[in-house]
Amino acid sequence: MELIKAYAEEIALNIDGNLDLNELKQLIEKPKYEEQGDLAFPCFLLAKILKKSPNEIAKDLSKKITNPLFGKVVAEGPYLNCFLNRKIVGKEMIKSILKAGENYGSLEIGNGKNVVIDFSSPNIAKPFSMGHLRSTVIGNSLSNIVEKCGYIPIRINHLGDWGTQFGKLIVAYKRWGNEKSVKQNTIKELLNLYVKFHEEAEHNPSLENDARLWFKKLEDGDEEAYKLWKWFRDESLKEFSKIYELLDVFFDSYQGEAFYNDKMKETIDTLNGIGLLSHSEGAEVVDLKEFDLPPCLIKKSDGATLYATRDLTAAIYRQKQYQFEKALYIVGHEQSLHFKQVFLVLEKMGYDWAKGLVHVPFGFILKDGKKMSTRKGKVVLLEEVIKEAIDLAQKNIEIKNPNLENKKGIAKIVGVGAIIFHDLKNERQNNVEFSLKEMLTFEGATGPYVQYTHARACSILRKGNDKANTSNLMGLDDPHSWTVIKSLMEFPNVVEKSFKQLEPSQIAKYLINLSQDFNKYYSHVKILIPDGQQQCRLALVKSVTLVLKEGLRLLGLKAPDKM
């Protein structure tokens, strides 16, 4: 039910077509204070058209609006304020939520157009870092949000599977590595080899040259180099998949940097053809002085291509492939300059669609105020962190609800949910302090708190034998249910805001508020007593479970019925 539209329609009936419905809708606002009502219509524009005072118009209109939905309509100076009839609105609201089910809050902004979401994108043969975790969690949620808004999300994992580091890795593997240990412990072993390469190269500089040669061989399609590279890639992906499985995240494409290998020549030729390439110290660059930015490096003096060359090529390829309206790059803010350069080069190439490219940056994950690093042996292996969260969640369950069925499954949902929610509840640009203990509490602004609220609501429904049908709802008039109903009413707006700002935190914060409102309601109102309103109360509880579950889904969390 769209209250603003309904109010606008009511006003439209009484102003002789002097403003159309859309204009009216735009004008309607929320009064500053709750005592002033639920909706306000300022009469200034109408006053100009009708050459009457706005106060007079407000007074006039207040007498003419008789729809019972708007319980009381009063003129307050130049404003036409209305107080909704809570019983009717609540009833209609609950009806429409139950009817829409999980589609409640879905919007039609996207009209089925494609949005590419480039996220997660870890680097082969390196640990999956905390930054990649953030990108995975934020990107997954934004994919869901975009879809909720009527777009088709294309989830792309732009794997870091190309670059000079593979030359180093091949050299190190051939000298010090063996198949068995790589198979047993891929990322740890490959990282060790990588670290060893750098240590050795310090007193044996010829290694760097070997590495360059091997990378050149790889780029030229040498069989041995290619086989090793492919093997490193496959083994690394196997390990990353374990993390994706735990987080329940999937991708439509794993076309990473290597995929663009044979496509970069065309990009470079195009750049050359339109005279955008210039030489700088042996390298080929696109000059960006006019934007006060350093040049974008396209080709090194030895002919090797770069990260930016691959991103330019990837964007062009994806536009051809998907005709995206928007392409979001979920990458930490330390790469802001890179994306600025890439987007500007594409604009200079004359691509109109470059306007739809958006870098969606985020902050660091901190431990005791310091950046959590995966480099230099201080590796925090993500898979272990996630498993620890699941273990802790399981211990919690053993204490709180030892007879719960499927404890293992629920522990996974809660442990993983805790990590995801903890990341998403803050605006993405902020840094996040990592604390398993804090994430996993059932109180406060955590994933388990929202999940637990949902499970509690489900348990009430079970006790009420799911009598939440809508055929004969009476409506509710106590202040606690009104608070919950108002909160439910907000959901579509929250979805829209989270999409416009590309901020899952909007939804996370909303879910905390709704949970708090519901828990207050639960502690003040007896839901299960069999009076005339029981069915309606149960229908309200059911609406709450629907919205909590759908909100959690948008963030990438599951909502078990029992906890």
Which residues contact ligand ARG (rule: CB under 6 A)? Answer: 118, 121, 123, 158, 160, 311, 329, 331
249 within 8 A of 136, measured Cβ to Cβ: yes
Distances (CA, A) of 526 to 479, 520, 523, 562: 14, 11, 8, 21
Residue nearest to ligand ARG (CB): 160
Q: Which is nearer to ligand ARG, 62 or 335 (CB)?
A: 335
Shortest approach of ligand ARG to residue 145 CB, angstroms? 19
How crowded is residue 509: how many other Cβ atoms within 10 Å of its Cβ?
A: 18
Q: Which is nearer to ligand ARG, 158 or 326 (CB)?
A: 158
Shortest approach of ligand ARG to residue 245 CB, angstroms? 20
Shortest approach of ligand ARG to residue 229 CB, angstroms? 16
- Report H helices in 263-406: 264-273, 307-322, 336-348, 382-400
> What burial class does residue 384 get, using C-beta atoms within 10 Å of its C-beta: 0-12 exposed, 13-18 middle, 19+ buried?
exposed
Assigned token pair, 448: 């388990």
Q: Which is nearer to ligand ARG, 115 or 507 (CB)?
A: 115
Tell me the C-alpha distance between 69 and 87, whole Å.
Answer: 9
Q: Which is nearer to ligand ARG, 79 or 251 (CB)?
A: 251
Q: Which is nearer to ligand ARG, 240 or 521 (CB)?
A: 240
Report the length, in residues, of the chain: 563
Q: Which helix (H) or strand (E) holds 360?
A: strand 357-360
With helix as H, strand as E and coil as C, how does 272-293 read? HHCCCEEEECCEEEECCHHHCC
Which residues lie across from 289 on neighbouring strands? Answer: none
552 within 8 A of 511, measured Cβ to Cβ: yes
Shortest approach of ligand ARG to residue 121 CB, angstroms? 4
Which residues lie across from 330 on neighbouring strands? Answer: 360
**CA-wise closest residue to 283 among 266, 300, 269:** 300
Shortest approach of ligand ARG to residue 204 CB, angstroms? 28
Q: Which is nearer to ligand ARG, 123 or 453 (CB)?
A: 123
Assigned token pair, 48: 């100009």
Shortest approach of ligand ARG to residue 311 CB, angstroms? 5
Shortest approach of ligand ARG to residue 226 CB, angstroms? 20
Q: Which is nearer to ligand ARG, 54 or 160 (CB)?
A: 160
Q: Which is nearer to ligand ARG, 31 or 361 (CB)?
A: 361
